Amino acid sequence: MSTNLSGKYAIVGVGQSPLGKVPELGPIGLFAVAAKNAIEDAGLKKEDVDGLITRGPDDVYCHHQRVGEALGLNVTFSTSTANGGASQTMAVAMACMAIEAGVCNTVVVGYGRDTWSRTHRNAEAKQAVASSPRTYSEFGSEFGRFGAPVNYAVSARRHMERFGTTKAQLGAIAVAFRNHARKNPHAFMKKPLTLDEYLGARLIVDPLCLFDCSVFIDGAGAVVVTSAERARDLRQPPAYVRGFGFGNRLSGWYNDDNMINTGAKEAGEAAYKMAGIGPQDVDTAQIYDCFTHMVLLQLEDYGFCAKGEGGPFVGSGALEFDGVLPTNTSGGQLSEGHIEGMLQVLEGARQVRREHTPDRQVKDCNIAFVSGHGGNTVCQSALILGREAG
């Protein structure tokens, strides 16, 4: 037995904190500001909230409890998720499931962290950056394996050698998102970026260069999820949750062909099936972009092009605002700022609400596809938002 939840729930409010360099706020404070803005945007009050699903810096124990304390909330359902960057899109789906199960009615979902300030707030923080990593894991750090970029570098290298994907094609992703960020007043990186500048940038872990990597900022985003029935009486046009799905290849990024064929395939198939649509029906995509290459892999696995054809697809200008699939229209994590996919949930909702100025608003936007990715690279979550319930 299965119940199709498509169109039964909706994002009814979106909110964000100041983004960029916000040293005066910590991660919980940033989250609280975003949550307050999301609730106000929905036209709801604190008393209406009876669910809370959060994530923040992964070292914060019982994160939802800390956020709830800051907001003075008592709820009937709350938890913190641990699927890395796949958590935030998943949390919107979890909110729908929790409401469907009858354990709560109106859920705040969000993410916040102070990633810029953590390493720049004061002399002590700066020193922490300059010194060596604090934790080492065997079978890797002995050989110089540190940081996230290498996971995507090895995947990109394999993809390049197998399918002929080029650096310039990865660059097209970075350039497209920068072009979008330039129109977003809240984006962190608004300096023009050309393909030549991209190709001349310093390498981090080859084949990935500086502009292949997302930008670390301070900030938070939050959304409010409730029933479609309730949504109709609220202030904003609802962004209906039309579909969701997950694919977590827990057997490991470095095993089988998981770094080329990702769990996004299962996640996307489930989400499209639930929504009763296919990739050709998507008007805008908000794809989790910790690194350019991860966008390319997901575009293939989510069916926007065939496996191996991601390079030519992005190289054709498909992701630009006037391309066939305007993608990461607020600048994405590569240029707006890395808030673990949360800002892309907001942007998907804003696009189907059609609230942007014409230079940023995807015309006649009915369907926004939002993806999350993370949890040590193997977790994928897909979310389909619609202007109409069905």
Partner 1 sequence: MSEYNKPLPPPTVESEPFWDGCKRHELVVPRCDACLNHWFPPTATCPKCWSTDWTWTGVSGKGKIYSFGVYHRAYHKGFADELPYALVVVELDEGPRLTTNVVGCKPDELSCDMPVEVVFDDVTEDRTLYKFKPVNDS
Least distance from partner 1 to the Cβ atom of residue 170, Å = 14
Task: Return the number of the residue (207 or 326) whose C-beta is nearest partner 1.
Answer: 207
Single residue of 76, 137, 194, 376 touching partner 1 by CB under 8 A:
137
Residue 72 touching partner 1 (CB under 8 A): no
CA dihedral (351, 248, 212, 210) in degrees, to 10, reads 120
> Helices 167-181 & 292-301, crossing angle to 10 degrees?
100
Written as six digits, the tokens of 195 are 């393909």
Residue 144 touching partner 1 (CB under 8 A): yes
Contact positions with partner 1 (CB under 8 A) in 157-196? 157-158, 161-162
User: How do beta strands 51-55 and 107-114 pair?
Assistant: parallel
Of the candidate spans 44-52, 197-205, 302-310, 334-342, the one that interacts with partner 1 by CB under 8 A turns out to be 197-205
Least distance from partner 1 to the Cβ atom of residue 159, Å = 9
Burial 178-198 (b: 16+ CB within 10 A, else e): bbbbbbbebbbbbeebeeebb
Single-letter code of the amino acid located at 324: V
Q: What is the DSSP string of 74-96?
A: --SEEEE--SGGGHHHHHHHHHH
Task: Return the number of the residue (136 or 388) whose C-beta is nearest partner 1.
Answer: 136
Residue 153 touching partner 1 (CB under 8 A): yes
Instruction: Evaluate whether 334 touches 175 at the Cβ level (below 8 Å).
Output: no
Task: Return the number of the residue (206 or 229) whose C-beta is nearest partner 1.
Answer: 206
Least distance from partner 1 to the Cβ atom of residue 212, Å = 12
Single residue of 150, 168, 195, 389 touching partner 1 by CB under 8 A:
150
DSSP state at residue 291 = B
Single residue of 82, 128, 203, 306 touching partner 1 by CB under 8 A:
203
Task: Return the number of the residue (72 or 144) whose C-beta is nearest partner 1.
Answer: 144
Residue 154 touching partner 1 (CB under 8 A): yes
Q: What is the DSSP string of 305-318?
A: S-TT-HHHHHHTTT
Could you tell me the CA-to-CA distances from 169 to 77, 97, 212, 354, 358 in Å, in that order? Answer: 44, 39, 11, 30, 28
Chain-centroid distance, C-alpha 281 = 20
Contact positions with partner 1 (CB under 8 A) in 247-266? 251, 254-255, 259
Q: Please classify residue 270 by burial: count the beta carbons closer than 10 Å to its beta carbon, then call 0-12 exposed, 13-18 middle and 19+ buried.
A: middle
Q: Please classify residue 275 by burial: count the beta carbons closer than 10 Å to its beta carbon, then call 0-12 exposed, 13-18 middle and 19+ buried.
A: buried
CA atoms within 13 A on the CB side of 380: 30
Single residue of 142, 233, 322, 364 touching partner 1 by CB under 8 A:
142
Written as six digits, the tokens of 49 are 């909230």
Residue 128 touching partner 1 (CB under 8 A): no
Residue 204 touching partner 1 (CB under 8 A): yes
How many residues are present in the chain? 390
Residue 239 touching partner 1 (CB under 8 A): no
Task: Return the number of the residue (111 or 211) whose C-beta is nearest partner 1.
Answer: 211
Least distance from partner 1 to the Cβ atom of residue 131, Å = 8
Chain-centroid distance, C-alpha 236 = 22
Residue 147 touching partner 1 (CB under 8 A): yes
CA atoms within 13 A on the CB side of 87: 22
Count of residues that bind partner 1 according to CB under 8 A: 34
Residue 140 touching partner 1 (CB under 8 A): yes
Single residue of 1, 59, 101, 139 touching partner 1 by CB under 8 A:
139
Of the candidate spans 152-160, 165-173, 238-246, 295-303, the one that interacts with partner 1 by CB under 8 A turns out to be 152-160
Task: Return the number of the residue (194 or 251) whose C-beta is nearest partner 1.
Answer: 251
Q: How far apart are CA 160 and CA 85, in angstroms?
A: 25
Residue 146 touching partner 1 (CB under 8 A): yes
Binding mask 339-378 for partner 1 (x = CB under 8 A): ----------------------------------------
Least distance from partner 1 to the Cβ atom of residue 310, Å = 17
Q: Can you give the binding site for partner 1, defined by CB under 8 A?
A: 132-133, 136-147, 149-150, 153-155, 157-158, 161-162, 202-208, 251, 254-255, 259
